[in-house]
A and B are shown apart, each in its own frame.
Chain A
Amino acid sequence: MLGLRLAMVDAVGEGIMDKEENRSLEVPEVAISTNGAEELEDRTETVAINIDALSLWYTGVQAIENVSLQIPENQVTALIGPSGCGKSTLLRCINRMNDLIPGVTLDGHIKIHGESIYEKDVDPVAVRRNVGMVFQKPNPFPKSIYENVAFGARINGYKGNMDELVRASLEQAALWDEVSDKLSESGLTLSGGQQQRLCIARAIAVKPEVILMDEPCSALDPIATQRIEDLIRELRSTYTIVIVTHNMQQAARVSDKTAFMLAGEERVGRLVEFSPTQELFTNPSDSRTEDYITGRFG
């Protein structure tokens, strides 16, 4: 198992290998979860999100062209690529976050579990209730830890036991033990990594089917990053996760499938390759993917 991972990492680059090896040895869960990924591959995949011929323009300037992706259910799908390749934009299409930016136009379809989310009579607010999001910079509300988690459920008219929901969400986000005695303190008193897990708990509390993560670890230190990555692997069994990351090693560590995007000279993002993560990192089918993952650019 370890041999396979190392071979995979080898393709990523010599410099990273030492670090990666240490990490794998220290954290046995990595090996376990990779094992799980293989099992999943044997199963027939259910498509959770079907992105069909999606193009997007910011006030007339095209940012994404003709991207089609079938994102599998209960797996982690990573979107990688250099800056400006449209991966974050693509992610934000999945919960219609781009609707908030004036001047965005879009062509193509996105279906989540068969339901098209860009039809005229679809309420983007309802879409976002089903598709949670974790952002690049931890952004807890300036409210208590408890209220941060309860917020989404409250506005969605949750009728059950709020204390239990808050506790369950915090437990699922691996934060409960650290905050159980200070739920009334502001979410901003937590460390960056804790804040990000609080944001994950906040997303979970709404009980979405899909969780989008937009470079969730880019503002965190390596230890906090590792905890978030462990958490992502655990959440995979319950949620469909799509993660945008700058960090190829992170994509290799946490994801089951990886999509590589690239923008050409005209700065329009296109999908280059979408494959199982191990395949994309060990045996990329496109030479541009190989150039990127071996660090020749980007």
Chain B
Amino acid sequence: MSFETTRVTARYRQNLRSNLGGRLIGAVLFLCAFVTVVTTVGIVVILFIEGLSFFAEVSPIEFFTGTKWTPLFTSKGFGVLPLISGTVLIGLGAACVALPLGTLTAIYLSEYATPRIRSVMKPLVEVLSGIPTVVYGYFALTFISPFIKEYLYPEAGPYMAISAIVVVGIMIVPIVASISDDALRAVPRELREAAYGVGASKLEVNTRVVFPAALSGVIASYILAISRAIGETMAVTVAAGARPNLTANPFEAVQTMTAYIVSVSLGDTPHGTIEFKTIFAVGLTLFFMTLVMNIISSRITKRFREVYD
């Protein structure tokens, strides 16, 4: 009996030692995760401090309702609306290109393509996201814009929003296609069989069972893609120009919020001045825009998602 007890105790000691290693690993992993949290918190804190010091000098009412954005001119205008409109125009426009195209690509890849076609096509689609964005920008500037000017809208200048919309849209197709494809393929075979079993056609199985079940993943891909479109800077600057412009006309030049931030932070604007602080105010605004978008989309997902497990 006592022998039995000794043996068990020894076994527990061994476990205790290996548990120490497990806790060490846990701590290291926690530190890694903590780095990202600290970074996020740091960014938010800096944005708030600098942004608030901007709003100490410029009234938020002027900032959010003004239609003239000329902080670098002698007659200063601090209305952020032209930048927001440029951002929203590019973001929504790119979404209009990428969401249908990406979703249909995903449905094709997951439900219709043979394994062989899929094994070739999916990497090809994903390669699109590996092309440097500046290449997209010059593709837009030297190919799409002249094409549009020549055949569709001769009055346009060399820079136009539509051309940025098209390339940014293409740029984010792989995000939608790849993540949605994974979400669609994760829907269990049993659900598809259940639908086929009551006499559903392939189209009905896909639209009424598979797609709703995969919706949370699909929406997640939309959010990522739109966030990427809103945050995209280089291609947009090259293709759409750098003129803050309150317009909904995609054939005009516009400037987005990120493009403005880059142009100021790379220019010769002295640090600490009101001109320089504008970039934090713009950044803060952008931060809230994406935050609100994320909240709304998670609400939508919760509302329509069909949880299958």
Interface string of A130-143 (1 = CB under 8 A from B): 10110101011111
List the one stretch of A34-42, A69-77, A151-159, A238-246 in contact with chain B. A151-159
CB within 8 Å: A-B pair count: 75
Q: Which of A100, A129, A188 contacts B308 (CB 8 A)?
A: A188
Which residues of A in the span 95-127 have a Cβ within 8 Å of any Cβ on B?
95, 97, 100, 102, 125-126
Q: Which of B196, B197, B308 contacts A142 (CB 8 A)?
A: B308
> Residue A227 at the B interface, CB < 8 A?
no
Q: How far is the CA of A125 from the CA of B212 in the complex (A)?
A: 21
CB distance from A7 to the nearest CB of B (A): 38
Residue in chain A with minimal CB distance to B307: A142
Q: Are B198 and A203 in contact (CB under 8 A)?
A: yes
Chain B residues whose C-beta falls within 8 Å of the C-beta of A125 in the assembled complex: 196, 199-201
Q: Which of B114, B197, B200 contacts A97 (CB 8 A)?
A: B197
Given the interface contacts A142-B306, A186-B307, does A100 sit within 8 Å of B209 by beta carbon? no
Q: Are B307 and A156 in contact (CB under 8 A)?
A: no
> Residue A288 at the B interface, CB < 8 A?
no
Counting chain A CB atoms within 10 Å of each CB, the highest count among B114, B212, B308 belongs to B308
Q: Are A139 and B194 in contact (CB under 8 A)?
A: yes
Chain A residues whose C-beta falls within 8 Å of the C-beta of B209 in the assembled complex: 141
Q: Are A152 and B308 in contact (CB under 8 A)?
A: no
Chain B residues whose C-beta falls within 8 Å of the C-beta of A128 in the assembled complex: 196-199
CB distance from A130 to the nearest CB of B (A): 8
Chain B residues whose C-beta falls within 8 Å of the C-beta of A188 in the assembled complex: 307-309
CB distance from A211 to the nearest CB of B (A): 10
CB distance from B81 to the nearest CB of A (A): 43
Q: Are B193 and A132 in contact (CB under 8 A)?
A: no
Chain A residues whose C-beta falls within 8 Å of the C-beta of B229 in the assembled complex: none
Q: Are B197 and A95 in contact (CB under 8 A)?
A: yes
Interface string of B169-202 (1 = CB under 8 A from A): 0000000000000000000101111111111110
CB distance from A43 to the nearest CB of B (A): 30
Q: How far is the CA of A218 from the CA of B309 in the complex (A)?
A: 19
Interface range on chain A (Cβ under 8 Å from partner): 20 to 34
> Residue A79 at the B interface, CB < 8 A?
no
Interface string of B283-309 (1 = CB under 8 A from A): 000000000000000000000001111
Q: Are A151 and B213 in contact (CB under 8 A)?
A: no
Chain A residues whose C-beta falls within 8 Å of the C-beta of B200 in the assembled complex: 125, 151-152, 155
Q: How far is the CA of A202 from the CA of B307 in the complex (A)?
A: 19
Interface range on chain B (Cβ under 8 Å from partner): 20 to 34
> Residue A206 at the B interface, CB < 8 A?
yes
Q: How far is the CA of A129 from the CA of B109 in the complex (A)?
A: 27
Q: Are A139 and B193 in contact (CB under 8 A)?
A: yes
Chain A residues whose C-beta falls within 8 Å of the C-beta of B199 in the assembled complex: 125-126, 128-130, 152, 155-156, 206
> Residue B150 at the A interface, CB < 8 A?
no
Chain A residues whose C-beta falls within 8 Å of the C-beta of B196 in the assembled complex: 97, 100, 125, 128
CB distance from B189 to the nearest CB of A (A): 9
CB distance from B31 to the nearest CB of A (A): 38
Q: Are A203 and B197 in contact (CB under 8 A)?
A: yes
Chain A residues whose C-beta falls within 8 Å of the C-beta of B201 in the assembled complex: 125, 155
Q: Are B306 and A141 in contact (CB under 8 A)?
A: yes
> Residue A166 at the B interface, CB < 8 A?
no
Given the interface contacts A155-B198, A203-B198, does A137 sit within 8 Å of B306 by beta carbon? no
CB distance from A240 to the nearest CB of B (A): 16
> Residue A199 at the B interface, CB < 8 A?
yes
Q: Are A199 and B308 in contact (CB under 8 A)?
A: no
Chain B residues whose C-beta falls within 8 Å of the C-beta of A132 in the assembled complex: 197-198
Which residues of B in the span 114-133 have a Cβ within 8 Å of any Cβ on A?
114
Residue in chain B with minimal CB distance to A100: B196
CB distance from B277 to the nearest CB of A (A): 50
Chain B residues whose C-beta falls within 8 Å of the C-beta of A100 in the assembled complex: 192-193, 196
CB distance from A37 to the nearest CB of B (A): 27
- Please name 4 further chain A to chain B contacts, defined as beta carbons within 8 Å, in addition to the given A128-B196, A203-B198, A206-B198, sorted by A numbering: A125-B201, A142-B213, A188-B309, A202-B198
> 9 tightest CB-CB pairs across the interface, nearest first?
A152-B198, A129-B199, A142-B306, A133-B197, A139-B190, A142-B308, A128-B199, A139-B194, A155-B204
**Sampled A-B contacts (22; CB under 8 Å):** A95-B197, A100-B196, A102-B114, A125-B200, A128-B199, A135-B193, A139-B190, A139-B193, A141-B194, A142-B212, A142-B213, A142-B306, A142-B307, A143-B212, A151-B198, A151-B200, A155-B204, A186-B307, A188-B309, A202-B194, A202-B198, A203-B197
